Amino acid sequence: MVAAKYIVGNWKLHGSVQENAVRFAALKAGCQPGDTLAVCVPFPYLAQAQQALQGSAIGWGAQNVSEHAKGAFTGEVSAAMLADFGCGCVIVGHSERRSLYGEDDATVARKAQAVAEAGMMPIVCVGETLSERECGDTAQVVTRQLAAVLADASEELKRGLVVAYEPVWAIGSGRAASEEDVREVHALLRGQLEQAGVIGARLLYGGSVKASNAGTLLNVVNVDGALVGGASLDAEEFLAIAQAARA
């Protein structure tokens, strides 16, 4: 049996209690048996996700985590706290965290490790900027980013790792990567994972995924799902992506 495609919504810095309630209800109503969906919401709405999605098959998680377990780190949220709360997955190393908040490869690796150790699924994002692509550095950048995570990866991390290839230029631009670009980078990442003994990890594609291109992108070899930003804020659109994943 072919494993269901994993469709993860990244709500980023969006939402309100009222808005979320409507979206959660619509997702619950539209989720079909066999779908594997999850939403990564802002921290204050984790409690709402926990309550609203209880009894549904839709997973939920966070968009960031502290690399530290505890201590004097004002404003941080630890992996154990997220796990305590019932979070299933955490996005780690999103390009916005890397570029706007200075997260380097080593930080991302420590965060991924913390998430896995707490029993959750780290969704580690890798991807090149437009200038890196134009310089022909795509392969080098994504392999360097993934290598940092694999370097001292524990068995837990190897077992639970999900990698999302998100070319930075495709995020929020309305311009998704081409099938060929995705095929090429996913094959590279798959090879790198297998070489490190990580067999069967899910590889997601992210960057301007919407209902109209999801079918094509999800059909590419080695694409096991999608990380969806903007289109995940519209429940109908997100469910249409889930439907494309079924087809």
Q: Which residues are catalytic?
A: 94, 166
Beta bridge partners of 59: 38
> Where does this chain touch ligand PGA (CB under 6 A) — which range of 27-35, 48-56, 148-156, 224-232?
224-232
Q: Which C-beta is closer to ligand PGA: that of 45 or that of 238?
A: 238
Which residue type is seen at 74? T
Pairing of strands 6-10, 162-165: unpaired
Judged by beta carbon, residue 11 or residue 24, the one nearer ligand PGA is 11
187: phi then psi, degrees, rounded to nearest 5: -65, -40
The contact mask relative to ligand PGA for 4-23 (x = CB under 6 A, - = no) is: ------x-------------
The pair of structure tokens assigned to 141 is: 């950048």
Under the binding rule (CB under 6 A), the answer on residue 114 touching ligand PGA is no
How many CB atoms are located within 10 Å of the residue 31 CB?
A: 18
Least distance to ligand PGA, CB of residue 230, Å = 3
Q: Among residues 229, 235, 242, 244, which is the contact residue for ligand PGA, using CB under 6 A?
A: 229
- By CB under 6 A, residue 230 contacts ligand PGA: yes
31 or 177, CB closer to ligand PGA? 177
Distance CA 91, CA 10 (A): 8
The site map against ligand PGA for 71-110 (x = CB under 6 A) is ----------------------------------------
**Residue nearer to ligand PGA on the CB measure, 1 or 13:** 13
φ, ψ at 235 (rounded to 5°): -55, -40
Q: Can you give the three-state secondary structure of 105-164, one letter per residue?
A: HHHHHHHHHHHHHCCCEEEEEECCCHHHHHCCCHHHHHHHHHHHHHHCCCHHHHHHCEEE
Q: Pick from 67, 103, 166, 181: which binds ligand PGA (CB under 6 A)? A: 166
Please report whether residue 207 would count as binding ligand PGA according to CB under 6 A.
Answer: yes
Q: How many residues bind ligand PGA (CB under 6 A)?
A: 13
> What are the distances in angstroms from CA 234 to CA 205, 228, 240?
19, 11, 10
Q: Does 172 bind ligand PGA (CB under 6 A)?
A: yes
Give the CB-nearest residue to ligand PGA: 229
Nearest-angstrom CA–CA distance, 102 and 95: 10
Q: Least distance (Å) from ligand PGA to the CB of residue 10?
A: 4
Q: What are phi and psi of 13, to 5 degrees?
A: -95, 65
Binding positions for ligand PGA, rule: CB under 6 A: 10, 166, 171-172, 206-209, 227-231
